[in-house]
């Protein structure tokens, strides 16, 4: 099955477990509105039980699971079946996030299962060495984020962004890079794309903002400026 195609620059809104149900759907609808307004590809994650609803309500978003496993149909009580995600309208999955790390063998098998089903893989890495190692698995997207900055509201300096972008592209030229961790302003978004990354996005920088919708507007406006300056 054919995977979704991601155009540079794209954006990820990853509410993690901060939101669920109606709260998650409201944020997804705002991302849908902005995806249409600016013509951006937008990855939106949600709790597994909310994915099908968001996929139906927000057809312009790339609805994304926050985790997936290599499980195949049959026995596997309590685990996450890739086919079930696909049937629910899921088009991508995060893997190996710092808050849900995976063994190398399970990560390898899960990427293979995602490839079978046409599900994009968005795989997380920490430092440069980590990025180089995981890039050998050829994920569709590599999230480069220092664990120490996750949730801090402080983004990495541009030298880290440039170095990890290069590390990934050297090993796996077709893997797209997404700079994350601490992205909390339009300035951070602009810097990430300026570094050569294909994408950026946030979690607490959005959901913990005084006005999350206004923060999304700020970030999308900055992404639009970065597209004009660096992606033409």
The H-assigned helical ranges of the chain are 21-38, 51-57, 82-87, 104-117, 128-135, 158-171, 186-194, 204-207, 212-230
Residue with tokens 């698995």: 137
Instruction: Return d(Cα 207, Cα 23) in angstroms, integer.
Output: 10
In this structure, are residues 144 and 180 in contact, taking their beta carbons and an 8 Å threshold?
yes
Of 60, 97, 187, 210, which one is the catalytic site residue?
Answer: 97
Of 32, 69, 145, 218, which one is the catalytic site residue?
Answer: 145
Is 97 labeled as catalytic in the residue annotation?
A: yes
Residues in CB range of 156: below 8 A, 6 or more apart: 145, 146, 149, 179, 181, 182
Instruction: Return d(Cα 196, Cα 230) in angstroms, integer.
Output: 8
Q: Would you name the residues annotated as active-site residues?
A: 97, 145
């Amino acid at each position: 099955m054919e995977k979704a195609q991601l155009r540079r620059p794209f954006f990820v809104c990853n509410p993690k477990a901060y939101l669920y149900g109606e709260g998650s759907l409201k944020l997804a609808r705002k991302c849908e509105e902005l995806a249409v307004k600016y013509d951006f590809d937008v990855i939106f994650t949600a709790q597994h039980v909310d994915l099908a609803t968001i996929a139906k309500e927000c057809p312009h978003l790339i609805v994304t699971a926050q985790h997936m496993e290599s499980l195949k149909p049959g026995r596997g009580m309590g685990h996450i079946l890739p086919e079930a995600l696909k049937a629910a309208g899921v088009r991508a999955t995060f893997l190996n996030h710092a808050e849900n790390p995976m063994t190398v063998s399970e990560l390898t098998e899960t990427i293979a299962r995602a490839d079978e089903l046409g599900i994009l893989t968005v795989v997380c890495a920490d430092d440069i060495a980590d990025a180089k190692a995981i890039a050998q698995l050829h994920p569709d997207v590599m999230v480069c984020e220092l664990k120490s900055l996750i949730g801090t509201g402080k983004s990495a300096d541009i030298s880290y962004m440039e170095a990890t972008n290069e590390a990934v592209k050297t090993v796996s030229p077709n893997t797209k890079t997404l700079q994350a961790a601490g992205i909390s302003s339009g300035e951070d978004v602009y810097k990430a794309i300026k570094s050569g990354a294909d994408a950026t996005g946030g979690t607490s920088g959005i959901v913990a903002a005084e006005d999350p919708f206004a923060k999304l507007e700020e970030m999308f406006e900055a992404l639009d400026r970065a597209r004009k300056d660096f992606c033409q």
